[in-house]
Structure 1
Amino acid sequence: MGTLNPGNSWFARLRGLTLRLAAGAAIGGLFGAAAAQAAQPAAAAVSPSTGSAVTVSGRGEFAGMKFTVSQTKNLTNQAVQVSWTGGTPTTFAGSYFNTDFVQIMQCWGDDDGTVPGNPGPSRTQCEYGASPTTNRTSWPGNARDDTRVVTYSADPTNYGMDDTYGYSPVPGQLGEVPFKSVDGTLITGGTQNNALYNYNTTNEIDFGRTGADGTGSEFFEVQTSNEAPHLGCGAPVTKAGVTAPRACWLVIVPQGHLDVDGQPYADHTQVNAGSPVSSTNWKNRIAVKLGFNPIGINCALGSAERVTAGSELMSDAMSSWQAALCATGTVYGYTQLGEPDARARLIGDGKSGLTFTTRALGSDEGTTAPSDKTTYAPVAVSGVVIGFNIERNVRSSAPDSVKSLSGTKVESINLTPRLVAKLLTESYRNSPWGAVVTKFSGGVGKPTAAKGYEWALDNPAGLITDPEFLKHNPEFADLAVAENPSTDTDLIAAIGHSDSARQLWEWIKSDKDARKFLAGAPDEWGMQVNPYYSTNADINPIGTAFDPLRDDYPKSDPWCTIPSASGATEPQCMTDFHPYVDDMQSGALSTRRADTLWKSSWDALASPPAWKSTGPQLVGQRFMLTITDVASAARYGLQTAKLRNASGAFVAPTATTLTAAVATASSTSSGVRTVSPDTTKAKNAYPLTEVVYAAARPAKLAAAARKDYAKLLRYAVGAGQVTGPNPGELPPGYAPLSKTLRAQAGSAAAALADWKPPASPPSHSGTGSDSGGTGTTPPSATPAASPTPSASPTPSNSATFDGGTAILTTAAGTTPADPPSALRYAVPAGAGLGLLAALGAPFAGGARLRLRPVPLRLNLPGGRTVPVLPRLTLPAALRRLRLPARGGKDHTPRG
């Protein structure tokens, strides 16, 4: 392995410049991508639906099977569970799926009339055939069962295996079933690498395994027209003068024992399964109709608009509530913004409307709460989770009882604060990929570490071989994982600053074992912390102690390498091995797709040449972990880890455990309750619980704005606390507010609506406008007597999620996507702006390497806005780089 030594000053100077440029461009690009993803507004309210799960029977040789889809109405971009019973156990030919497995896809269009007993679409209108078989010899497909190819030979005399598409018009090519897009685009060849969908974006499930008991289950990502414009699901369609969201289909094709010519397999030692869209296999397809929430502008044009901004924990809730609040005549826009930045903005001008936060104003270092009154209304209870997508890759030495579970999903794992600290500090041997290599001499291999990485030699390769992890998760002793930086050493995290990150770090720091580990003390089995994250300045190569009381997830280790024989001309660094995602919802979606984002393949033909991702992990061998929120984990059907709380119990995030944690929270003088992981002694309390408050400064708001925000608060703690999948309800992933918190919110709403400025000298008076108001800050006023929320439906006693159970989710609003609109230019524009900001950063004089606030925002349809370039701070390790000062002496930048 070639390495780049971070130790000398010339390299530090070069790296400082490079990182400023790269960070500016990359971060600008990331937030440009966020803008593009937020392009669609919340969907309109639709008729409520309950119990939308559907069970259908198979046909032909699969008549004894029953298939259940967990949710079929009010869908958005989310995961639904597809489960089945009565099947025959899957068989394999080597590592290839051979017989008796299930394939699932999403399709558009009307009933094609071919199966009167089970209406469904044409096979030409299904998103299928983009599996990453190219250059993936270990992929468990045979280049037909996971593609749209329906022949075995290009010879026209030997194509008679499909009654319609059994030949190719191009001599020498195999016959393929074409794909027809909703806009009429027809792709007739090269469908595996077509321009509309690919292995990174397709939602197809090529191989759903049936277990020894005849049952199986898969989580299927439903896509809207945002994620799959070629399907158009949920887009408005007008028929007979009525406009409604376009319905689509979920299609299941079971594979059995018949070849594509309709005859039994002649040779069971090799894979003969054909494409599910071949005529023979398609005859057994089962179609289930899918109903979507509308995609598009949902409130009447000309409606008044009120701005809200802040915590990502409110994303799904606000998306749902916005739709129901349209009927009030007011549009409530929502901008997702890191809580520290949202608080700073509210402190700065007070006119930014309603701000969602989990902490009081003035709680951030270097800030002070404003002197005028701030109202705080609790609106949601949620929390941070470690979501995962892990399948059992069984060792050959495992007992038969374990081998029978091969390929199935792991339902639960236990994590301690120290285990999570090991992941976040990149302390496993495989995390700085290439820092430890095996060199052979005389046929004997010996691990060798690059200079400065001797600490990694005796550390476990990853989580699955860590004795601490095995102590709490003994089943993993019989499981294996692909050894690379994107499996059990990676914990996908979001870029930027958030209260959720602070809550997680406080949980880590509250644990004495984790504190000792960060300080440099090995664990009981000898594992050491990556010194770049040590809280002991004497150990840390930077010369400064790592501070775990923070609100971000830094990539402090500067390791870079050019792998030998890669042909690369640029190094891979830690953000290539462990990339950031835009936000917690993006992390959940990547984990559902098993897309590690690891840039592991050098593309010399790209312009310019670059490291690129190779796509999703292999079926049956997935191992993905991410830091996300409860609602996003629920939305995408992720399992969630049980975390050890202060009482020593491992607790999953459920409505009960979130509520138990809130009960332990102490209220500050502001009335804001914060759950402290250090003092959470209730055995059943989930330690990463957070209460979200809507904060406002009434003196800075006009009367009309205050009344509109009070209306939102009353809805949020009234009808908005009824748990359910329908627009206007509380989505899965939230615990309903207690009576005490609802009463507090009702009082805050009344105080906001009824606030009156006290008498003051004329020179100190000011008037506000409906958009926020202006004027000086008067002393706080005594609010009027405050009733509890007005009569409204009673909140559910429990939420419809339970630590990763199959999810009935809906959030009527924006879904993470790359919509084909003008906003696709937000990414390059953001990158360019970030680059300009980086160029303007100081090179010397002790200035902090920070991208200063830029008031640049995009106004989106339906009341949403997104910051293109908010305040961003580089990781601590980069801020503390020793850069050559003028005059040739080294200095450490301040801050």
Structure 2
Amino acid sequence: MSRHAAPTPVRTSPWTRAGASGIIVGLLVGVSVAALTSLAPTAAVADASSAVTVRSADYELAPATAPFPDLTVTVSQTTDLVSEGILVSWTGGKKSVRPQGNVGGENFLQIAQCWGEDPKNPGHPDRTTCQYGAFPNVGRDANVQANVPPDPEKPDRAPNIATQDEQYTTAGAGFAVPPYTSIPFQPRNGALVTSVVKNAKGVLVHDTTVDVNKNEYFTEYTSNEIKWAGSDDTGAGAVKFEVQTSMQSPGLGCGEPVVKNGVTTGASCWLVVIPRPVGDSGTNEITQPGLFWDAWQHHVAVKLDFKPVGVRCDIGSAESQLGGSELIAGAISSWQPNLCAGTSGSAFVLSTGNEADVLTKAAGTTPSPLALTSYPLQTTAPDPLQYAPVGISGVTVSFAIDRRVTPVDGIDQAYKDRETQAFTSLNLTPRLVAKLLTASYISALPPGADLKHINYTDNAHQGHNARNLTRDPDFLAVNDAEWAAQDLNSASLSDMLAPSGRSDLATALWRYVMADSEAVAFLNGTPDEWGMIVNPWYSTNAGVNPTGAAFTLPRDTFPKADPVEKPATTGSNGVGPVNLVTWRPYTSDFENGAYLTLRGDGQLLGGWDSTSTPPKYLKTARSLAGDQGVIGLSTAGSAARYQNVTASLRNPAGSFVAPTSDAMLAAAAAMTPTEMQTAVLEFDPSSSAAAGASTAYPVTLPVYAALNPLQTDAKQRAKFANLIRYAATDGQKPGTELGQLPAGYASMPTSWSAQALVAATAIEQGISPQAKPAATPTPTAAAAKPAAASVAAPAAATVPASGSAAVAAAAATVAAATAATDPTATGTVAGPLIGAKTPDDPEVGPVGMAVPVGLLSGLAAAAAVPMISRLRRQRF
């Protein structure tokens, strides 16, 4: 398989070309393969220690008239927050009714984020500081009825305008001009957005030039509010909520750095939940804002504490560039503040992008960014890179799909009772992934275009291709029967939100698809058992593909290969053309896919705006809770950050497995060395090891930091080495605090960390993997002693100055690091350490018996090689 291309090979001396050295044999084989049998640390899990539960009866301002007196709300995380998703769950509500037209529904909750505290009610948020009202039929303002007598049969209905709302209400002028109430928005910067102002006579009037619901601080395209969150028949429910910092919502300013007594913290905010029963503000229906006092007085809220936004390193810190894999971005972001605190004060900037391009630069001797990659450099010349594993994560399929039961007789009542609730499990096979990536479902293509190439003519002649994933018999055959009872029609269920760039992540997903015989046959043009065919523009069969050439797989992109286009129309109601990119646009990256999934934003095309210059299509606002239907490609780290539910993928052993830390560690245990570079492992879905790993998540990837140690900037190499050391030690401790390993990653096995520590020393000391082998000295106990302490040392820990001493110390470090958990080499096969083979175990084979002793001997051999002068390196 063609992978990362190398730079133009440089001429090397015969002495250098002889570099099938001990460091290659030991480091790249001994450590890499030992990972198959080493004992792994505890897997990374989300920290729920900051979850908070609040009862309505203990919190609200008017408990005697509470619409849901038994309401209890739990917020999954309340500290160390960044821009991310959290889970809001509750019990004690009442079965909800969906919104209809201008009526908000019945017995639901509204959720918003606010920044200020109410000075009249300490411990409660100030409603004027809430980001609320951006969506139609919600708003912060409304005309209201005054002095309506109370109805004893409808106690939920407010009798008149509350005293607390009078300061925001115009008097009105009879039936034709009713009173108008508008709750202003106060952003954190001290400004005020208000549509009720005093005129020259001091009388409150409606300023019609101000829209409090669409302003410079939030609109329906940016607001994170949830205007309707429904409960099931038991009164329970749960929704994911997007927490916004000052970066997403300057008006809220959450997380803005606050310095007190020399300590920097992030500005706090509130999460507020507003119960909405069956009527409000003098009406028998929910038609008015939840910020009006009759609803607001029943709110419950939880304080949210944020990490300081933008606080990473002191201003003026020299920055070192990282480039490549998006998979490790979340971990780098968490590690950065602790790296700044080291003696080197290392500030790192990660530019995610195509790993192959960054590897090409990293392979040269000119200073370059540290490459972060999942696959090795592809070169016919000796590979000049040292590879240090720094993380384990995976490519995921995120989804946000809410139940909408088909309105027909005979549907199971249990399904009806879960109406509007989100699905929490979904199975995908490689063939289903292939269908989603190839625009093979009808709704993945623009309506009104000629779709005969997928056998669709019109509604009466639709062919055998389903409209979307949830209508596909292939999907229904491997998922819960409840899916067949749903009426789900969103176009964003017919494909996956996918990024446009090149990446190792794309390669890994296509390799997963192409290792499955059913998927291969489908892409080749063979219909599935129900008659569905691949969109021929994506066919790997040149005879089927309209281009006359095969669609080459695997590849490192997700192309929109079908040139289909709905033509433009003319006349007074004419609209522009719609091609596949217009209809189903790309995301900016994998994290953006997770973010959009959290928001329920399927990137749906909006209406045609003929008044724009030039005319253009608008974007459809995101779907809110209860109506979401989105599938998006993401990473395990970004899916965890944004509280995405992720699909379980069928692995080569035939099991459907979700991307948990344990499942990624199981995949790591089944990884084998790549063909081009034994220092780099991969989960090869076509391998016998993968076929035996029934608990492995099949699109798990390692991430390696890679650099040519002969690069000429020694100070920069030292900073990169510090990053690698931190990543391999303290950076593998799971948690939500800065410096820890975030959710969505698996802590690396001990032998992986050992390889990283050795590679870090080689990078810092300029030890090329092509160094000439020499006699193998045995590390002494005295040498191992100080090295053992360095395993847990901070990133800025010093290392020996000489190349030989550095390698010897690194070898001793490995010995100390692996002694407690890895098997001890005895010269014979340690069968009992591996254990008897079970159906769940991969086919390990002799290579799995390898232990770090090979690494030690290889490094010690390299240690005997004199350091090459910098001038000599430049000639390479």
TM above 0.5, yes or no, is yes
SS at match of 1:175: strand
> Equivalents in 2 of 1:232, 1:560: separation in Å?
43
On the 8 A contact 1:566/1:602 being kept in 2, the answer is: no
On the 8 A contact 2:389/2:755 being kept in 1, the answer is: yes
Which of these residues, 510, 513, 531, is aligned with residue 515 of structure 2? 510
> Equivalents in 2 of 1:92, 1:733: separation in Å?
34
SS at match of 1:67: strand
More displaced 10-residue stretch of structure 1: 786-795 or 328-337 = 786-795
User: Is it true that 1:212 corresponds to 2:238 in the alignment?
Assistant: no
Corresponding position of 1:130 = 134
> Equivalents in 2 of 1:374, 1:241: separation in Å?
43
Supply the AA of the counterpart residue of 2:478. H
Q: Superposed, which structure 2 residues align to 1:457-476 within 5 Å?
A: 457-473=463-479, 474-476=481-483
Which of these residues, 44, 50, 53, is aligned with residue 55 of structure 1? 53
| C-alpha spacing 1:568/1:344, structure 2 compared with 1 (3 Å) | farther
Corresponding position of 2:854 = none
On the 8 A contact 1:154/1:167 being kept in 2, the answer is: no
Corresponding position of 2:679 = 671
Tell me by how many angstroms 1:303 deviates.
3.0
Tell me by how many angstroms 1:313 deviates.
0.5
Tell me by how many angstroms 1:786 deviates.
2.5
Tell me by how many angstroms 1:509 deviates.
0.8
Corresponding position of 2:401 = 390
Which of these residues, 76, 81, 104, is aligned with residue 111 of structure 2? 104
> Equivalents in 1 of 2:88, 2:257: separation in Å?
26
| C-alpha spacing 1:235/1:252, structure 2 compared with 1 (3 Å) | same
Which of these residues, 653, 662, 671, is aligned with residue 659 of structure 2? 653
Corresponding position of 1:31 = none
Tell me by how many angstroms 1:349 deviates.
5.5
> Equivalents in 2 of 1:667, 1:437: separation in Å?
47
On the 8 A contact 1:719/1:794 being kept in 2, the answer is: no
Tell me by how many angstroms 1:65 deviates.
1.7
| C-alpha spacing 1:349/1:390, structure 2 compared with 1 (3 Å) | farther
SS at match of 2:649: strand
Moved over 6 A (4+): 154-159, 168-173, 436-439, 453-456, 563-566, 757-760, 779-782, 789-796
| C-alpha spacing 1:598/1:499, structure 2 compared with 1 (3 Å) | same
SS at match of 2:511: helix
Task: Note the alpha carbon deviations across 1:342-379, whole angstroms, 9 max, x for none.
Answer: 223323555213210001111xxxxx266463110111
Supply the AA of the counterpart residue of 1:788. T
SS at match of 1:617: coil
Tell me by how many angstroms 1:500 deviates.
0.5
SS at match of 1:532: helix
Tell me by how many angstroms 1:423 deviates.
1.2
SS at match of 1:187: coil
User: Is it true that 1:429 corresponds to 2:442 in the alignment?
Assistant: yes
Tell me by how many angstroms 1:73 deviates.
0.9
| C-alpha spacing 1:733/1:790, structure 2 compared with 1 (3 Å) | farther
Supply the AA of the counterpart residue of 1:127. Q
Tell me by how many angstroms 1:390 deviates.
0.6
Corresponding position of 1:560 = 565
| C-alpha spacing 1:347/1:165, structure 2 compared with 1 (3 Å) | same
Corresponding position of 2:289 = 275
Supply the AA of the counterpart residue of 2:329. S
SS at match of 1:113: coil
Supply the AA of the counterpart residue of 1:293. K
Corresponding position of 1:692 = 703
On the 8 A contact 1:714/1:789 being kept in 2, the answer is: no
SS at match of 1:219: strand
Supply the AA of the counterpart residue of 1:426. A
| C-alpha spacing 1:154/1:658, structure 2 compared with 1 (3 Å) | same
| C-alpha spacing 1:670/1:100, structure 2 compared with 1 (3 Å) | same
Runs of 5+ unmatched residues, structure 1: 1-47, 134-142, 363-367, 440-446, 761-778, 797-895
> Equivalents in 1 of 2:509, 2:631: separation in Å?
15
Tell me by how many angstroms 1:331 deviates.
1.4
> Equivalents in 2 of 1:556, 1:758: separation in Å?
41
> Equivalents in 1 of 2:575, 2:293: separation in Å?
48
> Equivalents in 2 of 1:733, 1:92: separation in Å?
34
Q: Superposed, which structure 2 residues align to 1:417-566 within 5 Å?
A: 417-435=430-448, 449=457, 457-473=463-479, 474-482=481-489, 484=490, 486-562=491-567
> Equivalents in 1 of 2:527, 2:120: separation in Å?
66
Which of these residues, 229, 243, 247, is aligned with residue 222 of structure 1? 243
| C-alpha spacing 1:745/1:438, structure 2 compared with 1 (3 Å) | closer
SS at match of 1:83: strand
Runs of 5+ unmatched residues, structure 2: 1-45, 150-158, 196-210, 772-802, 822-876
SS at match of 1:786: helix
Corresponding position of 1:231 = 252
On the 8 A contact 2:115/2:253 being kept in 1, the answer is: yes
SS at match of 1:525: coil
Corresponding position of 1:44 = none
Tell me by how many angstroms 1:431 deviates.
1.8
Corresponding position of 1:248 = 269
Corresponding position of 2:219 = 198
Corresponding position of 1:839 = none
Tell me by how many angstroms 1:160 deviates.
3.2
> Equivalents in 1 of 2:464, 2:680: separation in Å?
46
Q: Tell me the matched-pair count.
A: 693
| C-alpha spacing 1:495/1:100, structure 2 compared with 1 (3 Å) | same
Tell me by how many angstroms 1:242 deviates.
6.0
On the 8 A contact 1:49/1:74 being kept in 2, the answer is: no
> Equivalents in 2 of 1:296, 1:178: separation in Å?
29
On the 8 A contact 1:507/1:688 being kept in 2, the answer is: yes
TM-score by length of 1: 0.73
SS at match of 1:75: coil
> Equivalents in 1 of 2:236, 2:732: separation in Å?
36
Q: Superposed, which structure 2 residues align to 1:72-87 within 5 Å?
A: 72-87=78-93
On the 8 A contact 2:185/2:193 being kept in 1, the answer is: yes
Task: Note the alpha carbon deviations across 1:264-303, whole angstroms, 9 max, x for none.
Answer: x6x4xxx335311001111112221111111124312343
Supply the AA of the counterpart residue of 2:93. G
Task: Note the alpha carbon deviations across 1:469-508, whole angstroms, 9 max, x for none.
Answer: 11112321100112x5x33212100111000100010111
> Equivalents in 1 of 2:441, 2:110: separation in Å?
36
Task: Note the alpha carbon deviations across 1:800-824, whole angstroms, 9 max, x for none.
Answer: xxxxxxxxxxxxxxxxxxxxxxxxx
User: Is it true that 1:716 corresponds to 2:727 in the alignment?
Assistant: yes
Corresponding position of 1:416 = 429
Supply the AA of the counterpart residue of 1:128. Y
Structure index of larger Rg: 2
| C-alpha spacing 1:607/1:436, structure 2 compared with 1 (3 Å) | closer
Tell me by how many angstroms 1:260 deviates.
2.3
More displaced 10-residue stretch of structure 1: 122-131 or 83-92 = 83-92
On the 8 A contact 1:721/1:737 being kept in 2, the answer is: yes
Task: Note the alpha carbon deviations across 1:12-63, whole angstroms, 9 max, x for none.
Answer: xxxxxxxxxxxxxxxxxxxxxxxxxxxxxxxxxxxx9972111111131144
| C-alpha spacing 1:635/1:230, structure 2 compared with 1 (3 Å) | same
Supply the AA of the counterpart residue of 1:87. G
> Equivalents in 1 of 2:525, 2:638: separation in Å?
34
Supply the AA of the counterpart residue of 2:53. T
> Equivalents in 2 of 1:508, 1:121: separation in Å?
50
Tell me by how many angstroms 1:726 deviates.
0.7
| C-alpha spacing 1:354/1:645, structure 2 compared with 1 (3 Å) | same
TM-score by length of 2: 0.74
> Equivalents in 2 of 1:758, 1:289: separation in Å?
53
Tell me by how many angstroms 1:147 deviates.
1.5
On the 8 A contact 1:312/1:337 being kept in 2, the answer is: yes
